[in-house]
Amino acid sequence: MLAQIVLFDGFDPLDVIGPFEVLTAGGDAVGGAMDVALVAADGPRDVVSGTRGLTLRATTGLDPDRPGYIVVPGASGPTTGDPDQVRTVPMLLARFADSAAVPLLRTALRTPGVTVATVCGGSLALAMAGLIEGRHAVTHHLGMDVLDATGVHAVPARVVDDGDLVSAGGVTSGLDLGLYILEREFGPRVAHAVETLFEYERRGTVWRNAGRVPITI
Residue 82 has pLDDT above 80, yes or no: no
Region of 25 on the Ramachandran plot (φ > 0 left; ψ -120 to 50 alpha; else beta): alpha
Residue 113 has pLDDT above 90, yes or no: yes
pTM of the entire predicted model: 0.96
Residue 16 is predicted with a pLDDT of 98
Other Cβ atoms less than 10 A from the Cβ of 187: the count is 11
Q: Delimit the domains of the chain by residue range.
A: 2-202
What's the CA angle centered on 136, arms 143 and 97, to 5 degrees?
Answer: 55
* Domain 2-202, CATH: 3.40.50.880
What is the end-to-end Cα distance of the chain in Å, rounded? 42
Other Cβ atoms less than 10 A from the Cβ of 3: the count is 26
Residue 23 has pLDDT above 70, yes or no: yes
- Determine the number of helices (DSSP H) and then strands (DSSP E) in the chain: 7, 12
Q: pLDDT tier at 17 (50, 70, 90 boundaries)?
A: very high
Task: For residue 75, list its beta bridge partners.
Answer: 11
Query: Residue 167: which H helix or E strand, with range?
Result: strand 165-168
**Mean pLDDT of the 91-115 span:** 96
Residue 216 is predicted with a pLDDT of 78
Model confidence over 36-68: pLDDT tens digits? 999 999 999 999 999 999 999 999 999 999 999
